[in-house]
Structure 1
Amino acid sequence: MSDRRDEPAENISGGDAGGGAFAAFEGSDHEAETRAEAVVDALGEMYWQKAYGGQDGFECLVRTILSQNTSDKASQPAHDSLMERYGPADRLAETLAGVPQDDLAETIASAGLYNQKSEVIIRAAEWALDRFGSTPEFDHFVRERDPGEVRETLLSVSGVGPKTADCVLLFAGGRGGVFPVDTHVHRIARRMGLAPAAADHEAVRAHLEGNVPAEKCGFGHTAMIQFGREYCAARKPACLDGPEACPLYDLCDRVGIDELDGEVVDPSEVVDG
């Protein structure tokens, strides 16, 4: 397993610099009502906590687009380079809307898929200005309007999917009850039996948001990602080394994992006998 020192000081929420503050996890003062809540409570004993919200909305949108299909290690330098060249945050949409795509692509190259991501970012900047008039007005919309309306509006932008929209709601809007689903969360929730084995990302999100208290969803998202990196990897989960190797072994159905043969498949490939 990776050393705990490898746990990033920042994740997509941006640590202290991303708004909010570190906070105690309130998950042990009552018995969990669902297994999904019990999983999040157990993760609360393992990882640092964070109060969500506080990021500038459009910067958070850009940051999340940069993180698509790549790691924080790759996307963070791209975000830092972008902000150094095109900031400040309260003028970011105005600046990016007029940037030549080749220049932006070069700036964010470390994030991978830089041609595609630069197109999406510039298109999102143009859309934000056309719809809201300024970066601060977009940020206000994210923080103050109904979460369902914000989510639906963000999803109308080409290149912005459910996970990106949910991250903006969580990390910029500070909205409770939002559990973004990335590839780690999608895999782990189905592997553990917290969602049906064949569930798509949206179905997994619905199961988790329906079974985890609203105030625990944000932490559940970031902690489950970290758990996936340290213990529940796609090809070699820790349980293959024995029950004692995984701290959540007793809460997991291990769907798609054959501990005897050491074989691992996606949960959707499991066929009931």
Structure 2
Amino acid sequence: MSDEPDLESDREPSMNISGGVEGGGIAADFDPATADTRAEEVVDRLGELYWQKTYGGQDAFTCLVRTILSQNTSDKASQPAHDALIERYNAEDVDLAGSLANAEQSELAETISGAGLYNQKSETLIDTAEWVLAEFGSAAAFDAYVKDEEPSDVRETLLSVRGVGPKTADCVLLFAGGRGGVFPVDTHVHRIYRRLGIAPADADHEEVRAILERDVPAAKCGFAHTATIQFGREYCTARNPACLEDPDACPMGDLCDQVGVYPETNEVVDPAEAPEADD
């Protein structure tokens, strides 16, 4: 791989929580020969398939809004909703938190209706905007807090907000704060690293996160999060992983324990439901 990855021609999707090629971050170069753990080897293998970059630089409140919109829906659905919200509420020289705090809930819900659960999400967005104003005074001050304060303190603060869970908090730390060692765990990440056998089959999201943040170097965690999601969409899907019909179709085949995947019977179950998990 080139020493200077070309972010303009890589395969990073534009419709994802990272913001795609234009979403901030710095090109990086990961060397598979230096992997110290199986998790890192998987990540380096992902780097041979996809882009390589570290993250950071997004506006923290905008990132928080984008991540809330992405909850329980696809990037393909949530990205247009985010774009519509920004167009309506993020006028020039207007603080987005102030604009959303004063938004009419029914109008906001209509604006983001493509994202799913729009009534619930519109309420969450208004509540979150009001919280930002009450605690920090503006979106700009919130951005400074996320980027400057101790990551563990920022995470604890974010988790205290209604509607903000671990993945949302970690995405803000990663994509806005650029904090190394933060590995957000969504459904793809949770499934894949248990299926690989890197995390226990019955591990919950927080247990998977702890294992990955321990075994993947800090600088690679952000890339690993987004690339794992892409790998989950292209190869290691929930119901029909590539290895089910062709053991050579998956680029992780030699690193995977196939927990819950049974090519001989064409059966796929959640790793926690695999017989091995009960032994």
Shift of 1:240: 0.7
Separation in structure 2 between the aligned mates of residue 94 and residue 246 of structure 1, nearest angstrom: 47
- Note if contact 1:15-1:50 (Cα within 8 Å) is conserved in structure 2: no
Task: Give 1:66's aligned residue.
Answer: 69
Task: Give 1:187's aligned residue.
Answer: 191
Aligned residue for 2:272, secondary structure, equals helix
Task: Give 2:233's aligned residue.
Answer: 229
Matches within 5 A, 1:1-273: 8-21=13-26, 23-28=27-32, 30-88=33-91, 91-272=95-276, 273=279
**Deviations 1:135-183, CA, capped at 9 Å, x for gaps:** 1100000101000000000000011000000000000000000000000
Q: CA RMSD in A?
A: 1.7
Separation in structure 2 between the aligned mates of residue 175 and residue 168 of structure 1, nearest angstrom: 9
When the two structures are superposed, what TM-score results if normalisation uses the length of structure 1? 0.94
Separation in structure 1 between the aligned mates of residue 267 and residue 52 of structure 2, nearest angstrom: 34
Separation in structure 2 between the aligned mates of residue 42 and residue 36 of structure 1, nearest angstrom: 10
Shift of 1:259: 1.3
Change (3 A) 1:45 1:121: same
The runs of 5 or more residues in structure 1 that have no matched partner are none
When the two structures are superposed, what TM-score results if normalisation uses the length of structure 2? 0.92
Shift of 1:184: 0.3
Aligned residue for 2:72, secondary structure, equals coil
- Note if contact 2:14-2:21 (Cα within 8 Å) is conserved in structure 1: no
Amino acid at match of 2:35: A
- Note if contact 2:40-2:215 (Cα within 8 Å) is conserved in structure 1: yes
- Note if contact 1:66-1:78 (Cα within 8 Å) is conserved in structure 2: yes
Residues paired across the two proteins, number: 268
Separation in structure 1 between the aligned mates of residue 156 and residue 257 of structure 2, nearest angstrom: 34
- Note if contact 2:11-2:50 (Cα within 8 Å) is conserved in structure 1: no
Task: Give 2:5's aligned residue.
Answer: none
